Amino acid sequence: MKKLSAFLLFGAIALFGLGGCASHKQVSSQPLALAIPLNPVEHCHGKNGLPDPKCTPGVVRTTDANNICHGGSTKQFRPQSSYTNALKLAQIKEYGYQDTNPKNYEEDHLISLELGGDGRDPRNLWPEPHLGTNNSFEKDKVENWLHKQICSGAIPVTDAQHGISTNWRQYIVAANGEKLSHKERQ
């Protein structure tokens, strides 16, 4: 019953939130309210800046370094804010966050768009806190650093995607300009 109520509430939010976007192309032939799937896990738990891997394992759009480095702006893969705002509200509840103010979160791509992550799949999106250690701003630095590493050939695309989706914090020191030892990378 809880899942059905959450689904109906989320569907209504999505329907009303996306209703005013008639000028945008609809990617799916499904009704918009049904195009935003909920995660199948009832309760998600993030820890130390990492999302729950059962709820947010990360989803890849491409592993092609040329596309990632020379494919143009990531705007072409970014979903409409009405989609991500509705998803953020649902996922804040799904993650059981005490702070339910959506302004305190970024609906973030676990595998960022600049690393070839999927833009719309909810398994690649989660409400990442702006506050605390290992926050959204720290992860943004890691994403930028990994993009440079991919484009320079220093890190293979699939290694960067796997690394950021399993523990993006392992790159914080390097992203802040310090060198990582082999042991620190593991």
The residue range of the domain holding 149 is 2-41+51-175
Q: Is residue 183 part of a domain?
A: no
Domain presence at residue 151: yes
Q: Against a cut of 0.85, is the pTM above it?
A: no
* Residue 119 maps to a domain: yes
Q: Provide the token pair at 61.
A: 């759009």
User: DSSP labels for 62-111?
Assistant: ---HHHHHHS--GGGGPPPHHHHHHHHHHHHHHTT-S---GGGEEEEESS
- Give tens-digit pLDDT for 72-130: 899 999 999 999 999 999 999 999 999 999 999 999 999 999 999 999 999 999 999 99
In a domain, 46, yes or no: no
For residue 147, is it within any domain? yes
Express as a percent the part of the chain with pLDDT over 70: 73
- Give a yes or no: residue 159 inside a domain: yes
Residue 109, beta-bridge partner list: 125
> For the chain, what is the domain count?
1
62 falls within a domain: yes
- Model confidence at 25: pLDDT above 50: no
Does the residue 186 lie in any domain?
A: no
